[in-house]
Structure 1
Amino acid sequence: MDGNVFHSWSAQDLIDPVNVVSGQGSTFTDDQGRDYLDFSSQLVNLALGHGNQRLIQSIKDQADRLVTIQPSFKNDTRSQLAQELVERAGESFGSVFFTNGGAEANENAVRMARGYTGRRKVMSAYRSYHGATSTAISLTGDPRRWANEPSDSSVVHFFGPYTYRSAFWSEDERQECERSLAHLEQQIILEGSQTIAAIILETVVGTNGILVPPEGYLPGVRALCDKYGIVYIADEVMAGFGRTGTLFAVENFGVVPDLITFAKGVNSGYVPLGGVIISKEIQKTWSTTAYPGGLTYSGHPLACAPGLETLKIFDEDKILDRVRDLGERVVRPRLEAMKEKYSIVGEVRGLGLFWAIELVKDRETREPLVPFNASGADAAPMNDFAGYCKQNGVWPFVHFNRVHVAPPLVISEEELVRGLDVYDAALAELDEKN
């Protein structure tokens, strides 16, 4: 246990956290002097890496001018970041509601959808994570929701597309797209379309599998939302801000949502920040009526300053171009080669610097290497993989039967190759055992 710190998602007496004392670029260091290549960007938020001096200086400069101001006042740093985000999101958007993180962003997006439509229900996918506050954990599909129930009973879950483990017996991505959209529409009808305020989707599902939607799926969701008067919320908390090679992940799929939620990569978590980018149409709802929500630290200047600097760095250093290049030229072929070499690799998938390696006991049956939501002895193979990586200086991202590749967007090509080498060696050892 870590003294008086109560840790999230943990049995307090069964943990022994690594004591991290410093970080620089794509590496962090513990109190024993061990360096770890951060292949998970902490919680997939550290887009511009540890110790970025430009982000740090932006916080210092803002602190010299104004440390904090409550959200009812106008502040130039907050206003400038909102303007930048709206302009980059597209002409249909008009404003930004700032929050302290992703869960609060999703909470407020749902509140906005309900206020705009006058409806209550919200639909979300089973394979999803939207946060740990009350509505956000209800929206979440993964097992972290279970212990928090009952919560918001007006949330309805559905099956999103997942061609490798299709719930619809699809043989390819075209069938998966068609059948998952047909499933979603039937559920809308049976739930009562007039009762549904919003559909919320991670543009690319993050923790629950790096599930890249098949071509046509998100435009199909957009069409269903338009047909039934439902608000489309794109959760870009993890997938946004360059992770997939575009500023907003929806740009990969030619679709415009009504609300975009963000956090994490907007300023690499240097100071907590999230928000909702709101369409001009929805923001009209509160033109002459007070919006029923707010946060003491909404748009905190010390958080917005590194957000502005992040966008400058993205432009000046051509971050999006390098993410696309590294993803396609380095990561994709390397993971596909691992799939060819190791029988435990069932599928690899991803975009930009956002990838998953799905591990199986049998390629024919696609039985997962460890059971869904495995823990204890059942999770031993994945724990072995993670242990090998850590012993060899790489901090991996492991979830259920999957290994993810999500390093900082500023990782050097040499570091990226080194991390993939360790993943490769860990898979070789795991393949021999299983």
Structure 2
Amino acid sequence: MSTTQSPDLSNFWMPFTANRQFKAAPRLFKSAKGMYYTTVDDRPVLDATAGLWCVNAGHGRAEITQAVAEQLTTMDYAPTFQMGHALAFEAATKVAEFMPAGLDRIFFTNSGSESVDTALKMALAYHRACGEGQRTRFIGRERGYHGVGFGGISVGGILANRKTFSGNLMPHVDHLPHTLNIAEAAFTRGQPTWGAHLADELERLVALHDASTIAAVIVEPLAGSTGVIVPPKGYLERLRELCTKHGILLIFDEVITGFGRLGAPTASEYFGVVPDLITMAKAINNAAIPMGAVAASRAVHDAVVNAGAENAIEFFHGYTYTAHPAAAAAAIATLDIYKRDRLFERAKDLSGVFEDAVHELHGSPYVKDIRNLGLVAGVELESRPGAPGARAYDVFLKCFEAGVLVRYTGDILAFSPPLIVDEQKIDQIFSTVRDALRNVA
């Protein structure tokens, strides 16, 4: 098939896509390198989204390609049920080096969704091992995104992800309120000063359900998929304090914030708040091979493992592809790149430039709010009457036609470029968005 000829589009049921709309006018890539995709008609497109928040080291890194190719040639697959291979342990050690002190017991998965369900199971297993098996309730947050497993959408709080499956979601789940308040904190640079008090809603839920029934609270330190919601100053600290007070585990979903997005290895390190479990995926191996992980505290790990009978399986959970050799090889190569090229420091150094550039959109047509932290930004637009999401989709299309890939959720544009971005490309991203806003209705 010629690279300019469209393939048969009928068989692939696309995820999170308006399938009929897309297939009527498809947008297809054929290659990627550095900061750019190339379309099937040979147009370069600047990637302002790191794929789906995941290609943090930039596309087509030769070191990762070589590591994967060598591993597939050496050993394509090995099980990790009652067996092992050296790269699984090496990758776990490498990942642990990026985690907060004490969160160094790494369980590998294949996606962020699997990481979330794994963390929820770990929380239940921990409390049972500690003699508190009645702690079965989870507290999520409105507008939270925790993947698409039944556990993840149960603790998640995005309506469209939940409503079709509402009759079969997990029981014993409640939700904290989200922290976005445009009336109080529009166009905030970095963390809002309003909203830390919303963490105290956990006390209300404890009073309603009793702390002895609650296993864990799960939140994204910075919410990405819902349209970039930055935590208020003091909010995460208060959640940590309350969880500790009531014996509740705190889970940070860092599938987006893990590995440099905020200019630090984790959001936990950036905010100075250490949870009991961290979920991750996406940038763990630059999205080269599907992979995710959960970092557990030694307290959680040791309680579960030591509670098992001698010579018996302690945690009845895992995946065929857990610590897949090629994925592990990609992770090792990726984490080495992050360190060698000091990409997290680069992200930190560029965050001010990125912040200034996105906030220059203040005053552009239809812009009602701008939110940012590190190399993440969200630009919320006024919805078109009777057609929510249509305006952001039009801006997305105009940017794509002008050679810049942005992401949109509802009427919110989201930006998360690879950490190799530079000042010139940051300017290109937001000047393209500015022009697009001037040319939509």
Do Structure 1 and Structure 2 share a fold, with TM-score over 0.5? yes
Identity of aligned residues (%): 30
Q: Alignment partner for residue 152 of structure 2, among 116, 136, 147?
A: 136
Correspondence for 1:357: 379
- Structure 1: stretches of 5+ with no match in the other structure: 361-368
Change in Cα spacing, 1:13 to 1:397, as seen in structure 2 (3 Å) is closer
Any unmatched runs of 5+ in structure 2?
1-7, 128-132, 186-190, 309-313
Match in the other structure for 2:393 = 383
Structure 1 stretches of 4+ with a deviation exceeding 4 A read 172-175
Distance 2:58 2:89 in 1: 25
Q: CA deviation at 1:410?
A: 1.6
What CA RMSD, in Å, does the superposition of the two structures yield over aligned residues? 2.0
Distance, in Å, in 1 between the alignment partners of 2:377 and 2:341 is 23
Pick aligned residue for 1:204 from 200, 211, 222: 222
Moved more, 303-312 or 196-205: 303-312
Q: Which SS does the other structure have where 1:93 is aligned? A: coil
- 1:63 maps to which residue? 72
Q: Do the aligned residues in 1 keep the contact of 2:357 with 2:426 (CA within 8 Å)?
A: no
Out of 189, 194, 215, the residue aligned to residue 233 of structure 2 is: 215
The residue number in structure 2 matching 1:98 is: 108
1:286 matched to 2:295? The reply is no
Q: Shift of the alpha carbon at 1:34?
A: 2.0
Alpha-carbon shift at residue 343 of structure 1 (Å): 5.3
Residue in 2 aligned with 1:125? 141
Q: Is 1:89 aligned to residue 108 of structure 2?
A: no
Aligned partner of residue 15 in structure 1, secondary structure: helix
Q: How many residues align?
A: 412
- How far apart are the structure 1 equivalents of 2:403 and 2:376? 20
Q: Distance in 2 between matches of 1:278 and 1:370?
A: 44
After TM superposition, the score normalised by the length of structure 2 is 0.89
Work out whether residues 232 and 259 of structure 1, in 8 Å CA contact, stay in contact via their aligned partners in 2: yes
Indicate the SS of the match to 1:261: strand
Q: Please tell me whether the aligned partners of residues 23 and 29 of structure 1 are also in contact (alpha carbons under 8 angstroms).
A: yes
Greater CA drift, 271-280 or 316-325? 316-325
SS at structure 2 position matched to 1:90: coil
Change (3 A) 1:61 1:29: same
The answer as to whether partners of 1:370 and 1:382 remain within 8 angstroms in 2 is no
- The 5-angstrom pairing of residues 405-424 of structure 1 reads 405-424=415-434
Between the aligned partners of 2:19 and 2:84, the Cα distance in structure 1 is 42
For 1:54, give the aligned amino acid.
E
Counterpart check, 1:315 vs 2:333: no
Given the alignment of the two structures, is residue 3 of structure 1 paired with residue 10 of structure 2, yes or no?
A: yes
Q: How far apart, in 2, do the equivalents of 1:102 and 1:406 lie?
A: 17
Instruction: Confirm whether residue 176 of structure 1 aligns to residue 195 of structure 2.
Output: yes
- Matched residue type, 2:31: S
Distance 1:166 1:298, change over 3 A: farther
- Distance (whole Å) between structure 2 residues aligned to residue 187 and residue 283 of structure 1: 27
**Residue of structure 2 in register with 1:364 after alignment:** none
Verify the 8 A CA contact 2:199 2:236 in the aligned structure 1: no
1:148 to 144, 160, 165: 165
Change (3 A) 1:351 1:175: closer
Written as runs of structure 1 = structure 2, the 5 A alignment for 1:186-205 is 186-205=204-223
**Secondary structure of 1:226 counterpart:** helix
CA distance in 2, matches of 1:42, 1:102: 15
1:270 — aligned with what?
Answer: 288
Return the letter of the residue paired with 1:327. Answer: S
